[in-house]
């Protein structure tokens, strides 16, 4: 029988992974629409002016955004399976499997959007980071203390 903290932690991680999946789908299918305001605020140039002057570079930017979105989708799908299986059982390795990539993914995205001065994107990434931290902290003692999964 799984403990309440393990169940709660895995639910938070599941919510985080589904949230990442939704963001990834948004960026995959609406890369141009989501990139345009960030691009304009960072460069001071409109996206349409940039496309007119640098069509190939604009295509590369959109393709890079879609590639990043595809990677986010794969990490999110893995996170969903991890939250529903090993993390729910309190397997120690799964806690670290969320910690390391989670800090890299959410943390680097927060830093990236802060550097671009994109408030909305920064807030979206902070939500993911907060979910990660909550999902790690709630079951940390049970998982890292070695009591998880023992009868």
* pLDDT per position as a tens digit, 56-106: 999 998 888 889 999 999 999 999 999 999 999 999 999 999 999 999 999
> Is residue 132 one of the residues assigned to a domain?
yes
Query: What residue spans of 1-151 are helical by DSSP H?
Result: 4-29, 31-43, 47-53, 55-84, 86-89, 92-102, 108-115, 119-137, 140-144
Structural domain including 21 reads 4-144
> Is residue 82 one of the residues assigned to a domain?
yes
Higher pLDDT, 2 or 77: 77
* pLDDT per position as a tens digit, 11-21: 999 999 999 99
With a cut of 50, say whether residue 151 has pLDDT above it. no
> Is residue 151 one of the residues assigned to a domain?
no
Largest alpha-carbon pair distance within the chain? 66
> Is residue 150 one of the residues assigned to a domain?
no
């Amino acid at each position: 029988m799984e403990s309440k903290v393990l169940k709660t932690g895995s639910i938070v991680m599941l919510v985080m992974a589904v949230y990442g999946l939704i963001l990834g789908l948004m960026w995959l299918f609406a890369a141009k629409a989501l990139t345009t305001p960030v691009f304009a605020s960072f460069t001071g140039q409109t996206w349409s002016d940039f496309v007119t002057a640098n069509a190939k570079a604009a295509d590369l930017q959109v393709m890079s955004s879609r590639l990043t979105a595809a990677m986010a989708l794969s990490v999110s799908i893995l996170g969903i399976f991890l939250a529903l299986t090993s993390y729910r059982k309190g397997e120690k390795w799964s806690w670290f499997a969320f910690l390391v990539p989670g800090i890299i993914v959410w943390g680097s995205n927060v830093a990236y959007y802060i550097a671009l001065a994109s408030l909305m994107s920064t807030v979206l990434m902070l939500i993911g980071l907060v979910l990660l931290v909550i999902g790690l902290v709630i079951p940390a003692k049970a998982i890292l203390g070695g009591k998880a999964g023992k009868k």
